[in-house]
Structure 1
Amino acid sequence: MDNVKAKKQVFDFSLLKRVFSFAAPYKRYFYLSMFLTVMLALLSPVRPYLIQLTVDKYITNQWAQMLVIITIVQIVMLLLETAVRFFFSFLTNWLGQSVIKDLRVAVYRKVTRLNLAYFDKTPIGTLTTRTINDIEAINDIFSEGIISIVADLLMILAILGVMVYEDWRLTLISLSPFPVLILATWWFKESVNKSFHRVRNAVAALNAFVQEHITGMVVVQAFSAENREFGKFRTINKDHRKANIDAIFAYSVFFPVVEIILAISLGLMVWWGANKVLNYEVTQGVMIAFIMYLNMLFRPLRILADKFNTLQMGMVASERVFKVLDSDEHIADHGTHTAAGMRGEISFDHVWFGYKEDRFVLKDITFHATQGQTIALVGHTGSGKTTIISILNRLYEIQKGRIMIDNIPLQDYKLAELRSRVGVVLQDVFLFSGSVIDNITLRNPAISREQVEHAAKLIGVHDFILRLPGGYDYQVMERGSTLSLGQRQLISFIRALLYNPAILILDEATSSVDTESEMLIQHAIDKLIAGRTAIVIAHRLSTISKADQIIVLDKGEIKEIGNHEALMKQEGYYYKLYTMQFQKAGAVING
């Protein structure tokens, strides 16, 4: 099915038209490249014809002066053709690079606006392939594809026209092996097309596998799974190798076959033409010109089938890229309200949500938080705590119910403004490669170094940062691997404070850090939530006893709501969770 689909793309003119729509800003250069295409076609038969003229007229008649003149003309024509070919090659490649630059920007902009549901089901390596490898293949549509194919076809037509005009019988004799060439070209095209399609799929699989396993190398090594995962890698890599070898085999067969057919054509032309020369029916100049014509004719024919495959692969790649661009899996941003004066009053009104439409993770969630309150979410793993904080800043869209901030539905806020006023500090803090200050400001030029240092001092983290080699300029490795969990969290606290959110979402994670970091984190939390509405996912129930409301979740449903004292008196879900946690803590201490 994939191969059938790939074949259709060559004739999908609507897809080709869409690819060329990205060349609209460069249409002058496109028209210029087409003009150069016509010039190449017209210039290609000129030199053989001049040589024919030289042999038949000036050498035969011993016109020495004209020999000098026509030699100069041939040199000028050669230089002209070389210059035109250079500008044609440079221009088509420049056009292709300009188009894929714009296309890559469009794809990356689209990727940054897709909702998280898209990333939940799409491997990161696949998106990397779409953004880099597939877009690079689209460049070939311009540099080696449609424009180059048109140039070759026009040149072939021009040469054939001159050959027929000079001697149609000699032309027919010379081209009699062409049916064999057509069959060989068709076989080559089909074989390479299948192989290239498999290569593309194998590259995507390799990218996805390598990216995922390098990112998760800690898990692979921790569970001694290196050999098992290496075995999977070898299988994928073997498929990639076989697909490439199949393509190499097709090339290895096709090009020698073309050379043999060319030799046969030349042999037939010499055999038939020599008799005609002896009988003065064909001139020597025509014979010499025909040898050049045949070589010039076979030169584009050798690579024309390959160019069709390149075009076809570019079309397949463009279809994949446009699938990303056409994806409607994004959060609609039709809101008109700004969030500048947001107070932070939160209302969940009978909210239902599922990552899949028919599987609800949250069921009829209703609660209200007034400005400045601290709401704690507790419950077993999978109860829906993280999902609640994910839908509050519209990382996902709910299916039923309504969420409001300051009595305004979330959908009525401008998305960027909403998220700028809802600060998120997650348990698993993601840091980018770069300095500490770049990770704090996210390279926002509006935030000065003085503001960063002031925020760090305010929550008591300034001294910790200065102890790092280079302080605020300390280079953080990818994902913050050179920093501890506690250090990464402290950096994320400064980031949240700098953006001054009205609502703070906090995935509290002091259970996995050392005592010093825990004290710093707890101090930072107290500073962060002061005067703000805060929603805290509690991992240690002992840290939320001061929360204004505690929401107890189980399997996506709210079981209890109240403060610590009221819930303990009820001796319900919260009481059991709290008691169970302290019993476990006591067992660990006694053990």
Structure 2
Amino acid sequence: MDILKRIMGYAWRYKWRLIAATVFLLLLIGLNLVTPYLSKILVDDVIRGGRRSLLLPILLAILGCAVCKGIFLYIRSYLFEDVSQRCLYDLRNSMYTHLQELSFSFYDDNRIGELMSRMTGDIEGIRMFLVVGLPILLENAIYFIGTSIVLFSMNVKLALVTLAILPFIGWTAFKLNKNIGPAYSEIREQQANLSTAAQENIAGVRVVRAFAREDYEIAKFKKENRLNMEKNINAGFIWSKYFPLIEFLSGFCAVALIGYGGWMVATGEISLGTVVAFNGYLWMLIMPVRMLGWIVNVISQAIISGKRVFNVLDTGSSIKEKEDAYCPSEFRGDVVFENVSFCYKEQPVLFNININAPAGKTIGIMGATGAGKTSIINLIARFYDVTAGRVLVDGVDVRDWKLSALRSQIGIVMQDVFLFSDTVEGNILYGNPNATREEVIEAAKIACAHDFIMEMPQGYDTIIGERGVGLSGGQKQRIAIARAIIKNPKILIMDDCTSAVDMETEYQIQQALQKLMKGRTTFIIAHRISSVRNADEIIFLENGKIVERGTHEELLAKRGRYYELYRQQYKDFEEFQPKRQVM
């Protein structure tokens, strides 16, 4: 009931449309309740009573009811559809907005395919309840109450005989609800698994082809698809187990009416017209009971879908923003790490990190894969919170900052470049939507991207495929660099952003970035010595700890880990140098 209340809470936002739809529903029911009574008059007064003068008015009344019912049905259907679509619009917006606010840790634990399943299939399950289940539930409830009153007012004994079977039908529907709910829950979960399998395969189709793993992926998808089929068949088995029994019991009510009603007509206790009208009303009463299983089906699916949707909406972000969050008018770009430790899913990643990066300084961060380099920059933008210690920006703990104010002054070029299915210009403008075409071109030139962009069919108006399909790794990285440059941030973070470009292009980008980095606090994560050698301080990480720090020359003089890495990267160059001849 809590889930249904929340769903109806969205519907109640459009209460006047919902009320209007209900009014036309009531008018439609009223006309349906009148029609059997007109049949009674037709049989008793016209056919058997010989009052032919009533024939035309009765026929016109029946025709008028039919016309009005068609009009009311159209308006009722339109209004309920209108309310359902508006509710879905609000639900999708709420869910999408909430997904934008959730922390990185949420996406670390949830698969994209499953979230897409909740955004589509589960919300559609809620729509089916609002547009079909809710009106039929209201309609059948009113029919049941109204028709019961009419039947008992016409003849109590006949009503008792024909309705005696209804408790058995209700019990059967209850059993159906009890068994079908868990079955539909399993179906929704399996559909999410199926969506995830398809989404991951399609997104990684190039890797699949490269490793000739098509057969493996097909077999994996077939396995998930078969499980989905089996769970649907199981739900169908439960449905087929109970629904025929409901049909049989409903039909038994009609047999009781014909048998006992016919005997009452033969004994003169009631008129034939009463039996005819009774039969029309009886089916209005039986139909809600017969549809009880179907209604239970729709409601069960809506509840399961609602649970999955509201589970996401109820998931709070692990990154909480204070009500009086710090939002300054000026931003310098000082960054300080004070005894920072960080655990990811209870796994220690960083230990007692201390960094002082005054505004305008450049910090280089090096270390082996998994040393914790990317975790450091994730803490600056507060994508995650520290486990111990604190990160200060302009002397204020990042946990006290207004997130939008903090991140608006940080430009990040991530290691895993993501480009949107948009134009080249649109992807660069993502960093600053208000920038001009001239500023876009200037940013592209600094990132050494302008030349290859101009070689594209439509230049800056060329549509990039999903995730940058069609571009080389170096081209994607240079567009990502331009996207960060055009933002004009006070803090610039470069997460191994030149790893996919050749040495010559890397040199050109570094020369351009030297001008860009002036006056900005810059963090450069790299594996190449050439990327960090000009930094004001270079930090070397190992197993989450700072093991060496200093300038390029100071670290070479220490002949430690940085020196060994330098020797490895420049070994071929040193061997190529001609040896001095000893005189």
- SS of 1:398's partner is coil
State the partner residue of 1:565.
553
One-letter code aligned to 1:490: R
**TM-superposed deviation, 1:39:** 3.5
**1:91 & 1:141 partners in 2: Cα distance?**
14
State the partner residue of 1:293.
281
Of 400-409 and 327-336, deviating more is 327-336
State the partner residue of 2:120.
132
User: Residues 45, 443 of structure 1: CA spacing in aligned structure 2 closer, same or farther, 3 A cutoff?
Assistant: farther
User: Residues 454, 579 of structure 1: CA spacing in aligned structure 2 closer, same or farther, 3 A cutoff?
Assistant: closer
User: Residues 24, 584 of structure 1: CA spacing in aligned structure 2 closer, same or farther, 3 A cutoff?
Assistant: farther
C-alpha deviations, 1:149-189, integer Å up to 9, x for none? 13211101211221222122222333344355334434433
- SS of 1:140's partner is helix
- Does 2:321 align with 1:345? no
- Does 2:148 align with 1:160? yes
Contact 2:250 2:290 (8 Å CA) reproduced: no
C-alpha deviations, 1:477-520, integer Å up to 9, x for none? 11102111111111112111111011110023434334564454
Unpaired runs of 5+ in structure 2?
Answer: 578-583
- SS of 2:548's partner is strand
Instruction: Choose which of 419, 430, 436 in structure 2 pairs with 1:448.
Output: 436
State the partner residue of 1:266.
254
- Does 2:402 align with 1:414? yes
User: Residues 411, 190 of structure 1: CA spacing in aligned structure 2 closer, same or farther, 3 A cutoff?
Assistant: closer
- SS of 1:364's partner is strand
**TM-superposed deviation, 1:425:** 0.7
State the partner residue of 1:315.
303
**2:302 & 2:177 partners in 1: Cα distance?**
14
Contact 2:431 2:486 (8 Å CA) reproduced: no
Unpaired runs of 5+ in structure 1?
Answer: 1-11
**TM-superposed deviation, 1:345:** 1.9
Contact 1:349 1:365 (8 Å CA) reproduced: yes
**TM-superposed deviation, 1:526:** 3.2
User: Residues 266, 511 of structure 1: CA spacing in aligned structure 2 closer, same or farther, 3 A cutoff?
Assistant: closer
- Does 2:347 align with 1:355? no
User: Residues 375, 443 of structure 1: CA spacing in aligned structure 2 closer, same or farther, 3 A cutoff?
Assistant: closer
**1:435 & 1:370 partners in 2: Cα distance?**
37
- Does 2:468 align with 1:480? yes
**1:298 & 1:114 partners in 2: Cα distance?**
49
User: Residues 438, 100 of structure 1: CA spacing in aligned structure 2 closer, same or farther, 3 A cutoff?
Assistant: same
**1:519 & 1:563 partners in 2: Cα distance?**
20
Contact 1:487 1:517 (8 Å CA) reproduced: no
User: Residues 228, 441 of structure 1: CA spacing in aligned structure 2 closer, same or farther, 3 A cutoff?
Assistant: same
Of 37-46 and 323-332, deviating more is 37-46
User: Residues 260, 584 of structure 1: CA spacing in aligned structure 2 closer, same or farther, 3 A cutoff?
Assistant: farther
Of 298-307 and 97-106, deviating more is 298-307
**1:397 & 1:245 partners in 2: Cα distance?**
46
User: Residues 338, 265 of structure 1: CA spacing in aligned structure 2 closer, same or farther, 3 A cutoff?
Assistant: closer
State the partner residue of 1:70.
58
Contact 1:141 1:310 (8 Å CA) reproduced: yes
**TM-superposed deviation, 1:587:** 9.9
Contact 1:486 1:521 (8 Å CA) reproduced: no
One-letter code aligned to 1:529: M
State the partner residue of 2:484.
496
- Does 2:402 align with 1:401? no
C-alpha deviations, 1:497-551, integer Å up to 9, x for none? 1110111100234343345644543344334323322100111113322111000
**TM-superposed deviation, 1:565:** 0.9
Q: How does 1:86-235 map to 2 (within 5 A)?
A: 86-235=74-223
**2:576 & 2:207 partners in 1: Cα distance?**
26
C-alpha deviations, 1:20-71, integer Å up to 9, x for none? 2223431212233333444344333210011001110122232222110111
C-alpha deviations, 1:329-348, integer Å up to 9, x for none? 24222364445532222211
User: Residues 300, 587 of structure 1: CA spacing in aligned structure 2 closer, same or farther, 3 A cutoff?
Assistant: farther
C-alpha deviations, 1:107-129, integer Å up to 9, x for none? 11110011101111111112112
Q: How does 1:12-27 map to 2 (within 5 A)?
A: 12=1, 14-27=2-15
**1:119 & 1:360 partners in 2: Cα distance?**
19
State the partner residue of 1:4.
none
Instruction: Choose which of 517, 539, 543 in structure 1 pairs with 2:531.
Output: 543
* TM-score normalised according to structure 2 size: 0.92
* TM-score normalised according to structure 1 size: 0.91
State the partner residue of 1:9.
none
**TM-superposed deviation, 1:394:** 0.8
**TM-superposed deviation, 1:254:** 4.8
Contact 2:446 2:509 (8 Å CA) reproduced: no
**TM-superposed deviation, 1:419:** 0.9
**2:339 & 2:211 partners in 1: Cα distance?**
43
Of 263-272 and 103-112, deviating more is 263-272
One-letter code aligned to 2:476: R
State the partner residue of 2:580.
none
State the partner residue of 1:3.
none
**TM-superposed deviation, 1:321:** 1.8
C-alpha deviations, 1:341-384, integer Å up to 9, x for none? 3222221111111122x432111100111222211001111111
- Does 2:264 align with 1:279? no
**TM-superposed deviation, 1:259:** 4.3
- SS of 1:271's partner is helix
Contact 2:432 2:487 (8 Å CA) reproduced: no
How many aligned positions are there? 576
Contact 2:343 2:350 (8 Å CA) reproduced: yes
**1:35 & 1:582 partners in 2: Cα distance?**
82
- SS of 1:360's partner is strand
Q: How does 1:350-389 map to 2 (within 5 A)?
A: 350-356=339-345, 358-389=346-377
State the partner residue of 1:7.
none
Contact 1:199 1:243 (8 Å CA) reproduced: yes
**1:528 & 1:16 partners in 2: Cα distance?**
56
- Does 2:290 align with 1:332? no
C-alpha deviations, 1:418-459, integer Å up to 9, x for none? 111111011221001111111111296522223212332344
State the partner residue of 2:581.
none
**1:434 & 1:507 partners in 2: Cα distance?**
23
- Does 2:451 align with 1:466? no
One-letter code aligned to 2:89: K
- SS of 1:546's partner is coil
Contact 1:372 1:531 (8 Å CA) reproduced: yes
**1:521 & 1:199 partners in 2: Cα distance?**
52
User: Residues 405, 262 of structure 1: CA spacing in aligned structure 2 closer, same or farther, 3 A cutoff?
Assistant: closer
**2:243 & 2:307 partners in 1: Cα distance?**
30
One-letter code aligned to 1:447: A
**1:336 & 1:172 partners in 2: Cα distance?**
69
State the partner residue of 1:28.
16
Contact 2:363 2:535 (8 Å CA) reproduced: yes
User: Residues 136, 552 of structure 1: CA spacing in aligned structure 2 closer, same or farther, 3 A cutoff?
Assistant: same
One-letter code aligned to 1:225: R
**2:12 & 2:205 partners in 1: Cα distance?**
45
One-letter code aligned to 2:452: F
